A and B are shown apart, each in its own frame.
Chain A
């Protein structure tokens, strides 16, 4: 089998950069903000229960609600297209844009289009694609990838961004966030006002009203859906709720959980193209509903992960994510949610090592606004990875070796003495790579330095005879 770059390799590489410190700082600040908003006069715990029930109910009846949603969108004057996979989604989107002979496309942040690698596809067809979320814009300038669902450039410092703007936008160097922000506003404004097509994601669709809801804090989501003549909304097929009141619950929970706000600055509800008499707004609305592996996840042991509302809270609390950052996961979705979702979306042909990149500490389950039992799903994915790819071939022989040594006191003593000796020869005493059948241990963790003396030696010296 052609082995892809593993999580371990990427994680070790990422940890050698200054990124983890930036990520750790940012993730902790996110959590501080979150605490501010969870205790308000919307009863948070009840609202979480409600949000969970809404999401599970929707998934359990997803085909019915998708059908109703499509009818509602069409009733509002919009068009619905169905994409089984990334290739089909990209082709459909190209066709819509091609029809317009337009080539300036603006985008507001959308994880599903990252999944499709839509930007590369459209650029290859000769369109100009401009990301408008400040973080995504920076990612695009840097020719990089987002490292966090909510904060795409969590891994960059203000100095990195200052350098980047200085080089790519030809402005004098500054690392003042206010100034960088003003530069981005000026630079992006003309794209908003003159773009032919705006592409947005969908935080949640509403089956009853055919509305699509996007939330942003910057206002780029609103501008993207208000200024261009054509609005294309790309929606993961599970991002739906039955009623408008349900959507209200979801966006309230989302804002609190993602960034500690009571509501995001702009909760934007689009129900069709502009109506007769509306002075502005898009003439055309196309909603592209994307499966791309989701029905496979839905029919697996990990269905529940599709209840996710993409707040990113599980990333911020995850001790593994905080150490290695989003890029180490090598997938669009990182952190605990990504570790469940990515191998499922990819049919377990890649990212099979991600479910193991967790200590199963349970912080993600505690913090999840819709109470997804992520550790349980990680275990399900581990079982499946082991069954289908068996990354643990070393385990049986390794334990056999251990048993052989443990049964023979002389052999055991020799082994321990040898380990202590080896430990002393190394700088920090940690083993990063063990030989033979024991190497499996160090595939996903380091082996700690052995104690200077064994328990038996200590006992002999301190306790024997007393």
Chain B
């Protein structure tokens, strides 16, 4: 159906609607609570409650340990300039770990072949643009040098979290976020992948990473 016809049909229905509280004003912008509070302990508590692992050690140490535990040689990661830990990728390379390319070929077949190479990816490294204390969430966004699949495909997600980017909650962040629609993809990640579909028994890692590590910076 043409857009104009579709919309005029909707407009007609709106005119006949029996909604309570018309004219139904918008509630206005929520006023964020700006009182200075150290949100880090709140974030840590919420993140751990979800079975996330919090680290106060240097990222190199954490990633090396995870790679070793899993017997992994290769990892996925964002470009160095988007990771708030100088020289991290170079140091990982020096330790003998290989970073898989996250740049997809533009032809369809090449793209699928490249993506199939992620089939057994074990570790992915990315960084949080923001974090929410209330829910223990980290925000990962797409962009140049910032692969989406690096955060969602591997079995283990290591995310670097600058503590000065911790907000009270999603709503608090959204109230001040500057053009949140400017990135093609934003994901608020809240703990490891989980499902309760089988008799509501919680199991982890069904599609996304079953393990998530936050390295606080």
Contact = CB atoms under 8 A, between A and B. Distances in A.
Given A72-B181, A279-B145, A259 B196 contact: yes
A346 interface: no
Contact of A278 (B8, B143, B208): B143
Contacts of A61: 14, 24
Contacts of A22: 199
A328 interface: no
Contacts of B111: 229
B181 A211 contact: yes
Interface string B114-155: 011011000000000000101111000011111111001100
Interface stretch (B60-68, B87-95, B158-166, B183-191): B183-191
Interface string B190-205: 1111111111110101
A203 interface: no
Given A53-B25, A59-B17, A72-B181, A185 B144 contact: no
Interface in A30-66: 30, 40-42, 47, 49-50, 53-54, 56-57, 59-63, 66
Contacts of B209: 219
A60 B21 CA distance: 10
Nearest to A220: B207
Contacts of B19: 56, 59-60, 303-304
A133 interface: yes
Interface stretch (A78-86, A351-359, A395-403, A410-418): A78-86
A291 B6 contact: yes
B1 A83 contact: yes
Contacts of B6: 66, 82, 84, 289, 291
B24 A181 contact: no
Contact of B13 (A41, A226, A267, A299): A299
Contact of B197 (A60, A138, A281): A138
Contacts of A72: 181
A41 B148 contact: no
Interface stretch (A111-119, A120-128, A186-194, A441-449): A186-194
B3 A80 contact: yes
B167 to A, nearest CB: 11
A379 interface: no
A76 B149 CA distance: 21
Interface in A141-158: 151-153, 157-158
Given A66-B10, A278-B144, A177 B203 contact: yes
Contacts of A151: 196-197, 200
B1 A82 contact: yes
A218 interface: yes
B14 A279 contact: no
Chain B interface mostly = loop
Given A151-B197, A180-B198, A298-B17, A193 B119 contact: yes
A275 B170 contact: no
A419 to B, nearest CB: 44
Interface string A12-30: 0000000000100110011
A170 interface: no
A367 interface: no
A347 interface: no
A47 B184 CA distance: 28
A270 interface: yes
Interface string B33-59: 000000000000010000000000000
B174 A281 contact: no
A41 B39 CA distance: 13
Contacts of A294: 13
Nearest to A283: B106
A185 B148 contact: no
A274 B10 CA distance: 31
Contacts of A132: 207
Interface stretch (A2-10, A243-251, A329-337, A450-458): A243-251
A interface, size bucket: 35 or more
Contacts of A49: 27
A268 B207 CA distance: 14
B86 interface: no
Contacts of A236: none
B15 to A, nearest CB: 8
B174 A190 contact: no
Interface string A171-198: 0000001101110110011101110100
A193 B147 contact: no
A273 interface: yes
B148 A62 contact: no
Given A192-B207, A274-B142, A53 B27 contact: yes
Contact of B135 (A138, A192, A263): A263
Contacts of B22: 60
B102 A208 contact: no
A161 interface: yes
Contacts of B148: 222, 226, 280-281
A295 interface: yes
Contacts of A70: 3
A97 interface: no
B135 A262 contact: yes
Contacts of B119: 189-190, 193
B197 A262 contact: no
Q: Which 3 A-B pairs have the closest CB atoms?
A: A219-B208, A209-B181, A299-B16
Given A219-B208, A289-B6, A373-B20, 20 more contacts: A22-B199, A26-B200, A30-B200, A59-B14, A59-B17, A135-B195, A184-B206, A209-B179, A218-B193, A223-B152, A245-B174, A265-B193, A266-B190, A267-B137, A271-B184, A279-B103, A281-B142, A281-B148, A295-B10, A298-B17
5 contacts: A59-B17, A151-B200, A161-B198, A217-B195, A278-B142
